[in-house]
Structure 1
Amino acid sequence: MATIRDVAKLAEVSVATVSRVLNRKGYVHADTVQRVNDAMKLLNYTPNDIARSLSKKSSKTIALFIPDITNPFFNELALAVEKTMQKYQYTTILCNTNDSPKLERQYIQSLKHKYIDGFIMASNTLSVEEIEQLQIPMVSVDRISSPAVPTVSSQNRKGARLAVEALLNQGCTKIAHFRGPKGLWIADERCQGYLDLVEELPWFTTKLIVDGNFQLKGAVEAANQLFDKYPDIDGVFAGNDLIAIGVLRAMQERSIHVPDQVQIIGYDGIPLTEMVYPELSTVLQPIYEMGELAAQILINKIEQEPLVATHHQLEVKLVQRGTTRHKH
Structure 2
Amino acid sequence: MKATIKSIAERAGVSTATVSRALANKNSVIKPATAKRIRQIAQEMGYHKNVGASQLASNINNTIAVIVSYNQTNFWNGIIKGILQRAHQVDHQVIIFSAGSNDPQRLMQIVNEALEHQATGTLLISGRIDPAQVAILKKSHVPYRLVSIYSQRHPEQHFISSDNVAIGEEATNYLLKKGHRRIGFVGIDHSSTGQQRLFGYQKAMAAAQLTIDPHWVCYGDYSYQNGQELFAQLRGHGLTAVVAGSDMIACGLIKMANQTGIKVPDQLSIICIDGSPICEIANPPLTSVTQDFFRMGVKSVDNLLNNERSLFIPTKLVERASVKQLN
TM bucket by the smaller chain? 0.7 to 0.9
**TM-score, normalised via structure 1 length:** 0.75
Q: 1:194 is matched with which residue: 192, 197, 201? A: 201
Q: 1:312 to 1:50 in 2, by over 3 A?
A: closer
- The residue number in structure 2 matching 1:125 is 130
Deviates most, 50-59 or 169-178:
50-59
Q: 1:235 to 1:208 in 2, by over 3 A?
A: same
Give 1:233 deviation, angstroms: 1.4
**Percent of matched pairs sharing the same residue:** 23
- The residue number in structure 2 matching 1:173 is 181
- The residue number in structure 1 matching 2:112 is 109
Q: 2:54 is matched with which residue: 24, 28, 52? A: 52
Within a 5 Å distance, the mapping from 1:71-90 to structure 2 comes to 71-90=73-92
Gaps of 5+ in 2: 1-50
Within a 5 Å distance, the mapping from 1:1-80 to structure 2 comes to 52-53=54-55, 55-56=57-58, 59-69=61-71, 71-80=73-82
Give 1:58 deviation, angstroms: 5.8
1:69-128 CA-partner distances (Å, limit 9, x unpaired)? 462210111110111111122221222222111111111212222222211112233435
Q: 1:58 to 1:99 in 2, by over 3 A?
A: farther
Gaps of 5+ in 1: 1-48, 302-306
| Structure 2 letter corresponding to 1:109 | N
- The residue number in structure 2 matching 1:317 is 316
- The residue number in structure 1 matching 2:256 is 250
Q: 1:100 is matched with which residue: 95, 103, 116? A: 103
Aligned residues: 269
Within a 5 Å distance, the mapping from 1:232-271 to structure 2 comes to 232-271=238-277
Compute the RMSD of aligned alpha carbons.
Answer: 2.3
Which aligned runs of 4 or more in structure 1 are off by greater than 6 angstroms?
none
SS in 2 for 1:72: coil
1:162-194 CA-partner distances (Å, limit 9, x unpaired)? 211221222223111014220x22221111111
Distance 1:223 1:90 in 2: 45
Give 1:259 deviation, angstroms: 0.7
Query: Which of structures 1 and 2 has the bigger CA Rg?
Result: 1
Distance 1:106 1:56 in 2: 28
Structure 1 contact 279–322 (Cα < 8 Å) conserved? yes
